[in-house]
Structure 1
């Protein structure tokens, strides 16, 4: 978490810009190329980036929310194991998305990312303490597993990914308030899942 200052504030917008550049340069962008663009950063960006991709119009591609959820779950499990370098199997790493759709979709949420960067700051440190991060990792796994059935409902998978995005941004910038907001959105996401399953 010592990189929070560097990879937080302006950093997440720079990460998004880097992925947008990939989309501009290439017809197809592989998941492992997006992972490589994150570099060796804290756990936060590895949550935030898949979540913000899903929340963007790119998330409307059939099947992509489930792939992104699987990636989030995989990273979260590795975080629980104490790994600091995240691994993906080839069948996920080599999945591709249209460069044009990635460019267009992320440009639509770029202003939101910039605004989130501006309002986030280090506060409520207990909510980003190592012990609490394990709870967040468990919740991210549960949120990710809720995504596949929600794909049957238009835009419903945005709810769990919104919580994941808040967790990722809060961890990256050491902003415990965003983590708490993520917990509130998590409750709402689980209610939505329950309604969807019962419906």
Structure 2
């Protein structure tokens, strides 16, 4: 059985094992986004969210939060519209990562997921179906846009929120979907207050430079 067939028949296979298997299959010095998406084609939406958000929580690839934030826009829109397939622009598919870094990140993600995935189980099913999925899609879209921002410390909290959403969707666990809401709110608050602080510091620096220049 090929990897694609294995992934399509993976309902009884732990997500952690699927991610570890994916890491083993993505060989080569460079791995493009197109290669990654090709392996994810036809996969469960929850699994796609996990694979695109878990590496963000383990920041060992420079710039990964920005790139994966862009990649997460597609699944978010898919959730909002209830679409059956994942679309990505061609120029995005040409982006690539160092194969060693991406494989290392995926293996680390599999190890982390093994420790928490057993907690997810089918419950509160209404929160894993429409219209609740529309809200989850909007929330994921907002978090994806936050991940794109070049702001220190702005990737871990959104990443965790999307991981919770992914587990909730994959295991039809409404409790995990609920848990993602306060975490997502924390991410938005971090960006809001962090942005205000950064702006205040910038304006203070400009004012000091202006005074210094006036003294000269």
TM above 0.5, yes or no, is yes
Residues in 1 aligned to 2:36 and 2:17: alpha-carbon distance in whole angstroms: 13
* CA distance 1:9–1:195, shift in 2 (3 Å): farther
State the secondary structure of the residue aligned to 1:29.
strand
* CA distance 1:9–1:90, shift in 2 (3 Å): same
Aligned to 1:18: 21
Corresponding pairs, count: 189
Aligned to 2:139: 139
1:65-120 CA-to-partner distances (Å, cap 9, x unmatched) read 11211111122113322221111111111211111111222222322111222221
Aligned to 2:106: 106
Do the aligned partners of 1:47 and 1:72 also contact (CA within 8 Å) in 2? yes
Aligned to 1:61: 62
Structure 2 unpaired stretches of 5+: 1-8, 198-216
Aligned to 2:183: 185
Aligned to 2:192: 194
2:155 aligned with 1:170? no
State the secondary structure of the residue aligned to 1:83.
coil
Aligned to 2:121: 121
Structure 1 unpaired stretches of 5+: 1-5
Residues in 2 aligned to 1:9 and 1:147: alpha-carbon distance in whole angstroms: 31
Aligned with 1:38 (options 37, 40, 57)? 40
Structure number with greater Rg is: 2
Aligned to 1:3: none
Residues in 2 aligned to 1:52 and 1:85: alpha-carbon distance in whole angstroms: 21
RMSD: 1.8
Moved over 4 A (4+): 6-9
Do the aligned partners of 2:160 and 2:183 also contact (CA within 8 Å) in 1? yes
